[in-house]
Amino acid sequence: MSDKNRWLFVLCLAQIFIMLVFINYSAVLPLLKQEGGMNNTMAGTIFSIYQLGYIASGVILSTLTDHVHRSCNIIVCF
């Protein structure tokens, strides 16, 4: 793989790992409901709170990257 395409591969790989959280929650939801005694409302609330945190972190971090020097952002990513 050339250096020219490596960034795209890393970006796609990162997106896959981010989406695994969404997929895993749906997969283990029946187990969580049975073991934890949760109903549908509780399970939906947990996922909604996770989604709100995900959105809030995206807004905060994207705003933060506009104000922080580029080299600092790259160092923090790795």
Report pLDDT digits (tens) over 14-35: 888 888 877 788 888 899 899 9
- Ranges of residues in the chain with a pLDDT under 70 are 1, 69-78
Confidence (pLDDT) at 71: 63
> CB–CB of 15/7 below 8 Å?
no
- Residue 54 belongs to what domain range? 3-77
Domain count along the chain: 1
Confidence (pLDDT) at 39: 92
Q: How far apart are CA 27 and CA 7, in angstroms?
A: 30
**Polymer length in residues for the chain:** 78
Q: What is the pTM of this model?
A: 0.61
Q: How far apart are CA 35 and CA 13, in angstroms?
A: 32
Q: How crowded is residue 25: how many other Cβ atoms within 10 Å of its Cβ?
A: 14
Q: Under DSSP, is residue 40 helix (H, G, I), strand (E, B) or coil?
A: helix
